Chain A
């Protein structure tokens, strides 16, 4: 096989269009001693393919090739259980926290109605006066009964 033929075959090979026969011809060529100088650069590649092809899988082999220590540690049942427990505990912890500490940021309903703080201030003020009115209404209603009155004063003044 002259170097021109080899070059054509190589071109087909890079395109992935060579047949099995053509590939074995290419391999045979690069295994031979008279490789054209300009094709010398490809020899190493085909030699590597040859070397790789020699590696055999031995299914009868007793010792597993790879057995990582991680797998061995995790295969112990109680360690697995403990790991699961830790993951669960962390999950629950982070799940619960927002509901307790960040009351104000807990949901989407805190989208501002007002864009200006002045308007928001006026509305918040109205809300406070409204609340105050309702609280005092409670007091005046409760004042009808002195006992209830006292209870309420105690509650409010305690704070």
Chain B
């Protein structure tokens, strides 16, 4: 009886540690680089987002404000003038496929981009962007409910299908 109990206890501890280790792998990644001065680190807490939602400035775009009202946390880890491809691979390896769905992946000659989302039904609770290029690395982690359509519209017009995207993109660049 005692042995069986002991085995059960050890197993339970092992399993819980394993599960939490998976979900915290990204946090560990973030924490391990946030003290490195060559990285740019930006963190905005849920409390600060609450204060942002009460802000009333003149030049606030309503789309941005709406988006930010639903966002609870933001973390950015970035490094410029640095070959970010290795870090990109490292960050990618920390992502638990059971937790995140990959929204898009772009790979061209300049850089790799991956966007992951953690979704419950139709609601996106977390978005993770990883960019690794020859001269930069960016990891952006947004928590809170995120309206992708509105985010897409900020820089272009995602909801218009077809080749129109390209025309708009050309104007921007």
Contact = CB atoms under 8 A, between A and B. Distances in A.
B39 to A, nearest CB: 12
A40 interface: no
Contact of A156 (B49, B129, B158): B158
B122 A136 contact: no
B169 A120 contact: no
B100 interface: no
Nearest to B19: A96
B23 interface: yes
A118 B8 contact: no
B20 interface: yes
A68 interface: no
Interface residues of A, number: 56
A129 interface: yes
Interface string B102-116: 011110100001010
A84 B12 CA distance: 12
A147 interface: no
A108 interface: yes
Contacts of A134: 106, 113, 115, 129, 131
Contacts of A114: 44, 48
Contact of A130 (B68, B103, B140, B153): B140
A132 B142 contact: no
A120 to B, nearest CB: 5
Contacts of B168: 136
Interface in B2-56: 5, 8-9, 12, 16, 19-20, 23-24, 27, 30-31, 34, 41-49, 51-52, 54-55
A155 B103 CA distance: 7
Contacts of A118: 55, 57
Nearest to A136: B156
The binding surface of chain A is classed by DSSP as: helix
A107 B122 CA distance: 26
Contacts of A95: 16, 20
Contacts of B76: 123, 127
Contact of A103 (B20, B47, B64, B125): B125
A125 B44 contact: no
Contacts of B151: 128, 131-132, 135
Contact of A129 (B72, B138, B154): B154
Contacts of B161: 149-150, 153
A124 B44 contact: yes
A138 B126 contact: no
Nearest 9 interchain pairs by C-beta: A132-B155, A117-B51, A132-B154, A104-B73, A138-B104, A136-B156, A104-B72, A110-B45, A140-B169
Interface of A: 77, 80-81, 84-85, 88, 91-92, 95-96, 99, 103-114, 117-118, 120-121, 123-125, 127-143, 149-150, 152-153, 155-159
